[in-house]
Amino acid sequence: MPALINPSILSADFANLERDLQAIAAADFVHVDVMDNHFVPNLTLGLPVVKRIAEVSPVPLDVHLMIEDADRWAPEYAALGAASVTFHAEATQAPVRLARELRSRGVRAGIALRPASPVEPLLDLLPEFDMILVMTVEPGFGGQSFIEGMLPKIRRARAALDASGGSTWIQVDGGVARDTIGRIAQAGANVFVAGSAVYGASDVGAEIVALRELADANA
């Protein structure tokens, strides 16, 4: 499948959020990071703000929940009009049940892994998820450097998917930029979250196009 570029509004100007949403109209999704100051040491957006983002965004919402008690809260974000809701494996008691509930609500269900969390326990369950998110930085803050050691994890996930014929997307979040996206695509990812690389560019739309082209050229 062609590469998907999902800019993270964690790097946007929150005082001008609608303006910065319109600036990424060339993207495939907008990546919305929800943090609760418990699962990660930061606090960002909650249900009312995400609801408003869904109303004004020019592209579908890819909501990434970095929160505790995902079993309780993930369906609430699905109900707001998100196209995709991703919860952390470390924050759920029943990941398959939660994924099925999200799918029943008409949204894509994603599961995320911190860098230290192994992918192997999920490999037999991949058909239950529409996307697996491999974090290539520690969740909680934007602008971190890419962790090279995550490339083998991406490769293992891709090998398992290819062997099973599955269609689950592999997303990468953390340190995605022009100098890393080629290696990430070669490892097998096809959905790329880029925050500072996009919003820090002089031409946001052109940067989205450039990242997509680099990923497709290395897939």
Task: Give the residue numbers annotated as catalytic, written as ranges.
Answer: 33, 173
Contacts of 52 by beta carbon, 8 Å cutoff, 6+ apart: none
Q: Give the closest residue to 74 by CA, choosing from 93, 94, 102.
A: 102
Q: Extract the tokens encoding 3.
A: 């590469």
Contacts of 8 by beta carbon, 8 Å cutoff, 6+ apart: 31, 32, 33, 142, 173, 193, 194, 195, 198
At residue 63's C-alpha, the angle toward residues 108 and 122, to 5°, is 55
Q: Provide the total of helices (H) and of strands (E) in the chain, helices listed first.
A: 9, 8
Contacts of 45 by beta carbon, 8 Å cutoff, 6+ apart: 32, 33, 34, 35, 53
Q: Extract the tokens encoding 104.
A: 């029943």
